[in-house]
């Protein structure tokens, strides 16, 4: 799947400690980004202040809603 226009396709990150697993609603790994291909494979934090579209577990985040890249 490839991103189009100004969207970034993000796979939600699942973080855990022991047996407790949590899915953060606004953290994920970038699968595709047409505007900035260097983001692909990196973990980002994005704003959820407006509705984020989803399909098959992937989130489609507008590029301008990406707030940070985790190192």
pTM (whole model) above 0.75: yes
Q: What is the pLDDT of residue 19?
A: 61
- The mean pLDDT value for 53-61 works out to 94
| Torsion 69-27-49-58 (CA) sign | positive
CA–CA dist 33, 17 (Å, integer): 30
CA–CA dist 64, 44 (Å, integer): 12
pLDDT over 70 for what percent of the chain?
A: 86
Distance of CA 51 to the CA centre of its chain: 13
Grade residue 66 by pLDDT with cuts at 50, 70 and 90.
very high
């Amino acid at each position: 799947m490839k991103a189009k226009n100004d969207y970034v396709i993000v796979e939600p990150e699942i973080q855990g400690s022991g047996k407790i697993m949590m899915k953060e609603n606004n953290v994920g790994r970038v699968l595709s980004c047409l505007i900035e291909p260097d983001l692909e494979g990196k973990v980002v934090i994005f704003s959820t202040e407006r509705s984020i579209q989803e399909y098959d577990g992937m989130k489609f985040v507008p590029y301008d809603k990406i707030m940070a890249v985790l190192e």
